[in-house]
Amino acid sequence: MAMPMLGERFPELEVQTTHGPMSLPKDLQGKWTVLFSHPADFTPVCTTEFVSFQKHKADFDALGCQLIGMSVDQVFSHIKWVEWIKEKLDVEITFPIIAGNDTIAEQLGMLHPAKGTNTVRAVFIIDPEGVIRTILYYPQEIGRNIPEIVRAVNALQTSDNEGVATPANWPENELIQNHVIIPPATDEKSAKERLQQYECFDWWFCHKAR
């Protein structure tokens, strides 16, 4: 099973969704995308995740990031499940859900034989050029932390736009709070200058406010 890797272009796929057919990654161009798989419709953990993704959709929208769900259920199952969530939980799912199959799921590394025949909880963060920037896998029994996925998109955009890195738990890091990390110096002169230009623990660990 060939699994996508970081830095690779998202595989070309023709898929059917609850919002109609899509060509991936062509239809993703120009926007950040979070594509996430779930084991099955009409299951408790997956239902809580979809509600949480929807409730955080404004956070993703603010980052210019679109959401796309996926499982190997047929599209009519997705449609009925979305109707059930709206009727019973008063939450309207407004993002598309891909009706995948085993071939698509295997191509994306979403089927892990030791975990059964359903798709695991995979998350792909894809940049506007269609390149995979982050991959997360969760087992079927553990629901995802949606704010962490929002945080990851925000951190990737910050890194791209400002040429910096972000620390653990950013923007609430225990050492440097909401500061960002300056890339390592590449010569002795710039290493010395860093100490004058930024806040530093040492020349190799400098940071700044945004």
Q: How far is the C-alpha of 66 from the C-alpha of 64, rounded, in Å?
A: 7
198 or 106, higher pLDDT: 198
Averaged pLDDT for residues 6-20: 93
Q: In the CATH scheme, what is the code of domain 163-210?
A: 3.30.1020.10
Exposure of 24 in the CB half-sphere (CA atoms within 13 A): 26
Q: How far is the C-alpha of 70 from the C-alpha of 124, rounded, in Å?
A: 11
pTM over 0.95: no
Averaged pLDDT for residues 133-153: 94
CB proximity list for 82: less than 8 A, separation 6 or greater: 18, 92, 93, 97
Q: Assess whether pLDDT exceeds 60 at residue 115.
A: no
The pLDDT, as a whole number, for residue 198 is 95
Q: Assess whether pLDDT exceeds 80 at residue 116.
A: no
The residue extents of the domains of the chain are: 13-144, 163-210
Task: Answer yes or no: are the C-beta atoms of 44 and 86 closer than 8 Å.
Answer: no
Give the chain's mean pLDDT. 92
Q: Which amino acid is at 64?
A: G
Q: Which amino acid is at 120?
A: V
- Tell me which of 3.40.30.10, 3.30.950.10, 3.40.309.10, 3.90.1570.10 is the CATH number of domain 13-144: 3.40.30.10
Residues 46, 65, 200, 206: which is the catalytic one?
Answer: 46
Averaged pLDDT for residues 78-83: 98
The pLDDT, as a whole number, for residue 44 is 96
Q: Which two tokens stand for residue 147?
A: 């704010």
Evaluated on CA atoms 109, 113, 117, 123, the torsion sign reads: negative
CB proximity list for 55: less than 8 A, separation 6 or greater: 91
Task: Answer yes or no: are the C-beta atoms of 38 and 68 closer than 8 Å.
Answer: no
State yes or no: is 46 an active-site residue: yes
The pLDDT, as a whole number, for residue 1 is 52
The pLDDT, as a whole number, for residue 120 is 72
